[in-house]
Amino acid sequence: MMSSNKSFDRLSDGRRMAWGIGEGSPQFPITSDPANLADWSLNRIDPGGCPDVGEPGGYEGPDGVLYGTIRCGPCIWHTVRRDKGKSWSTLRRQPDFPDSPSNREFGRFPDGSV
């Protein structure tokens, strides 16, 4: 079972992605079903050294690369998907990116930057 406090994100190619946690591992499933009810591809992400994954989030970069974030302790951990959703990199701690107890949200500015 997957849980998340985030909504679905529409990707540039029309698919939808969910940001979630399931069975102690981040899960960012993707579907091409326009009703978002079927055909979800589930890909578990290797949590690396993060013992307690939490609060998933992320965004799609202007080049179509998908970026996922997870809270782990006082820091943000990061994963990348460069192959249109086939595989994610192992979670890695972002050393100079401290986290606060609030949610983080991502969005796109008018110039296209995230």
Q: What is the mean pLDDT of each run of 10 residues along the chain (114 residues)?
A: 62 83 74 73 81 82 87 83 81 76 66 78
pLDDT for residue 33: 76
pLDDT for residue 34: 67
37 to 4, 15, 84, 113: CA distances (angstroms): 16, 12, 20, 31
pLDDT for residue 1: 44
pLDDT for residue 6: 61
For 50, the token pair is 């993060």
Annotate the chain with three-state secondary structure. CEECCCCCEECCCCCEECCEEECCEEECCEECCCCCCCCCECCECCCCCCCCCEEEEEEECCCCCEEEEEEECCEEEEEEECCCCCCCCCCEEEEEEECCCCCCCCCCCCCCCC
pLDDT for residue 24: 67
Distance of CA 90 to the CA centre of its chain: 12
pLDDT for residue 85: 64
What does the radius of gyration of the chain's CA atoms come to, in whole angstroms?
Answer: 14
Q: The pTM is what?
A: 0.74
